[in-house]
Every structure is written in C-alpha cells, then in structure tokens.
Amino acid sequence: MTAAEFKIRGFRRSDFNTLWEIDQKCFPRGISYSQFELLTYIRRPRAFTLVAERVPGDDPEAWAAADGSNTMGFIVAEAGRQTGHIITIDVLEEARRSGLGSRLLAAAEDRLRELGCRMVVLETAVDNAPALAFYKRHEYFLVKTEPRYYSNGTDAFVLKKDLLLPTPAS
C-alpha cells in the first residue's frame, strides 16, 4: 500500500464515529480521547480536521478497513495567531508505513502556513517511540517535557517545528 492510494479531504459530521473509533484503536486508554473530548477539539473555532480515505481499486474488499470503512486515518489541528497545534494524528495499523501519516501531517502544516502560522507544536507520550521517530523525520524538535500530561499519568514531550524553514527536497 502506498500513499498514492489515499485521498485527503475535509471532515464531515458523518465521519465522527469512525474517527473516534480509529482514535480508540490508535492510542491506549488514558491517551485516547473520549467522544466529548474529540468532538470539542474538532469543533474549536480555528480547528480543522482532515480525513484520509483509501481510494478504491479493482477489489473493494481488499481496500476497506477492518470495519468496512475506507477511512484510514485523520489529523486534527488548530491555528493560533502565529503557532499551530497538532491535536492528534491517527492512522490505522494496516495503513502505517505507507506514507499516509506523512501526507496528513504535510497537509495540516500547509494549511497552518496558509492560516499565518510560523511554527507548530504537538505533544506525544514519552514512551511512544514510533511517534518520536516519525516526528524527528519531519524535523520536529524537543522543547520540553510535560509531567503527567495524559490522564493515565504518562508524561508528554512537547515538540515544535518551524514552518517557515524551507523543506529539504525528497
């Protein structure tokens, strides 16, 4: 599966339950969001949500997620005056390492730039090694540690990226 097999679109209200279910699969209890929390973040005035769907191929059964949906991931971000915030990025296990997370992150960063953000911040659990490696590849750097950030008591690293620096050619 390659990133080219996905399309990214804006959030629709009918997506909500699927996105919440994806969040529950992607993160452990205490880090995943309640329905109320996720809905609150999605509805924030300067927030936006991008949804990644698998593009149908010749065999629809081969491209549907385990629940029959073609939604494979999403990202929720919020634009501040000069600083954006990645609230969550969720990609189903079967779509990881396909480039989808990178495409979602790049699309959100582009939107944040368009909205006037000069930098972007996010939080990730200190024990989430795959996420830390992912963000390092995307030029995020450690700013600080937030003790007991998550409701389960896990600390979080706060990471930041300058959105005005030119990105290296791939």
Q: Tens of pLDDT along 20-48?
A: 999 999 998 888 999 999 999 999 999 99
Q: What is the pLDDT of residue 145?
A: 97
Considering only CA atoms, which of 59, 78, 81 is closest in space to residue 70? 59
Considering only CA atoms, which of 131, 144, 139, 140 is closest in space to residue 88? 131
Q: Which CATH number fits domain 3-120: 3.30.230.20, 1.10.3720.10, 3.40.630.30, 1.10.645.10?
A: 3.40.630.30
pTM of the model: 0.88
Domain borders along the chain are: 3-120
